[in-house]
Amino acid sequence: MKKTLGITLLIAFTFSLFSSCKKGEANEEVAALTSDASTISSSAAVEKPGSNRKFIRTADLKFKVKNVAKSTYAIENITNHFDGFVIYTNLQSNIIEQVDTKISQDSTLETTRYNVENNITIRVPNKKLDTVLKSIAKEIKFLDYRVIKADDVSLQSISNTLAENRAAKTEKRIEKAIDTKGKKLTDITTAEATLTDKEAQKDNSKLENLALEDKINFSTLTIQLYQNETVQQEMNATTKDYEYYKPNLGMRVIDALQSGWYMLLNLIVFLFEIWWLLLLATGGVFVYKKCFQKKQS
């Protein structure tokens, strides 16, 4: 009985020790992840509850990743998950050097050194900016820089609202004046032109306010990704030049003799084709000699 109890206690102690180790490892992993996330998170990215101030928050990030393409897809998925959207992405490879090494008569080894980079611009809800930054932190291998801005535009928002209200009140007064006091055509025309200007001012103020609200509600993140230089090697078939396909000397001499023979035959045929011209030339020479001899005699 005592032996069984001792074995049970030993098993329980071992299991407890193992669980403690696992829990410690898990806590270390969580602490490491929190540390990584905190490198790009900021209190400037957190929405203050109950605050009447309005901020336009932006973030500029540049960091190295293990694989640019995979990290790009991960960031795009994070953006979609938190109700954001991608407004620009430019994934490209830049060739640093390309060398062709001849391995054999018909094979060439092409070695290409290149780097991969991507510039991404995303917009996410302002209240979720800090969460998005922490999620993106999981992709970081080395952080070059992180810049977060929070511009206070509370007064600008109030100014735009007041300008819109003033333009609306002026528009109503002009409309009322046209309806009640407008008599002459010239007066009405001038008032209508003034009304159109005030309507345009009101519309511009409203559009400025909407654009400002959009920047407040959605933060803009500009992200630059890059990875270590990559080397790719590929074996290609060698393209032979023109000299390789020329026949040997004996064949070339035989071809030259045949070409010369054909040219001679063509010349003979050509002379038979212009027999009438030769006949005229011969007759002309004969007549010239006769006439020249008569003059001399």
User: Tens digit of pLDDT for each residue in 78-101?
Assistant: 999 999 999 999 999 999 998 888
User: Parallel, antiparallel, or unpaired: how do β-strands 55-64 and 218-226 relate?
Assistant: parallel
User: Tens digit of pLDDT for each residue in 42-53?
Assistant: 565 566 666 677
Residue partners of 228: CB distance under 8 A and separation at least 6: 64, 115
Other Cβ atoms closer than 10 A to 172: 12
Angstrom distance (rounded) from CA 36 to CA 231: 29
CB 130 within 8 A of CB 40: no
pTM score > 0.85 for this model? no
User: Tens digit of pLDDT for each residue in 158-200?
Assistant: 666 666 666 666 666 656 655 665 555 455 556 555 656 666 6
CB 226 within 8 A of CB 115: yes
